[in-house]
Amino acid sequence: MSGWRFAVSTLGAPGVPVAESARVAAEHGCHGLEIRTHPDEEVHLGMPPARAAGVRARVADAGLEIACLAGYPKVCAPGPDGPVVDELRALVELAASLGAPSVRVFPGGADGSGADGGGADGGGVDGRAVERIAAVLPDLRAAGVRLLVETHDSHPTGEAARRLVEPFGEPGRVAVLWDAVHPWRAGEPPGRTRAALGEYLAYFQVKDVMAGDPTPVPPGEGAVPLAECGRLLVDWSGWVSLEWERAWYPDLAPLPVPLRAAADWYARWRPEENASR
């Protein structure tokens, strides 16, 4: 992939059929759809292959690609490894059926435990995650799917998230999804996040909030330094996706409202536009 490609997550359209989300995405200039994989949604773990094929066809019919499957395995979560590894395998299998190049997972440890130097139990949290990812590395390779750990919960910063993926030394197979909000909220400025992730940055989620308030606002209306993020990413290639958390905040404006703002941000900062200035 050369340059940026624009996508939007179906998290912003809970309960809406994929075909409708794909239509809205295409109308706003998106190249892809990030699909939330959840029991409450059309796309979920264990869905029959025929239905997965139908979803893949409907996205393609809209002229889009599937950018990523946003799943919910928590690689740092306490408890036995088996259920986490099984969920990771199921997510990778579904991605292969849908033709998705990547799957998003969460760290999922206790908030803040991995934000500075390995967490409350030293290297245990990180080691647990590395072992679980290692268990599905053959599946990832066989499927041609990339696993992306999001900057979130126990590992909200770029520095912390990189610790979970760097041991594999395969950024083309195990890398990081940079959520614009969480590193900034944890006190890591965008320049530090970008430098920390280096070649392990695989995906960027455009999001915005006001200082001290987790409620999403359309990109450009909050306090997240998205212009700085744009400048830092001009030499990077990958998917840039709007995540609008309407599934968790049902009173938010419908998806087209933030999607217009995200499309404006994308048009301003995409490398091709900056190169022409």
The 10s digit of each residue's pLDDT in 42-60 is: 999 999 999 999 999 999 9
Cα distances (angstroms) measured from residue 96 to each of 4, 67, 103, 109, 141: 23, 12, 10, 27, 11
Is the overall model pTM greater than 0.85, yes or no? yes
pLDDT in tens, 230-261: 999 999 999 999 999 999 999 999 999 999 99
Q: Residue 30's Cα: distance from chain center in Å?
A: 16
Average pLDDT over residues 23-40: 98
How much is the mean pLDDT over the chain? 94
Q: What percent of the chain has pLDDT over 90?
A: 91
Structure tokens at 23: 């239509």
Whether the CB-CB separation of 126 and 119 falls below 8 Å is answered with yes
CATH class assigned to 4-275: alpha beta
Kindly tell me if the per-residue pLDDT of 115 is higher than 60. Answer: no
DSSP-derived secondary structure for 207-250:
--EETTEEEE--TTSSSS-HHHHHHHTTT--EEEEE---TTT-T
| Residue 2 confidence (pLDDT) | 64
Average pLDDT over residues 24-39: 98
Give the angle 199-200-202 at the CA atoms, nearest 5°.
100
pLDDT in tens, 71-85: 999 999 999 999 999
Whether the CB-CB separation of 33 and 21 falls below 8 Å is answered with yes
| Residue 162 confidence (pLDDT) | 98
Burial class of residue 54 in the structure, from the number of CB atoms within 10 Å of its CB (0-12 exposed, 13-18 middle, 19+ buried): middle
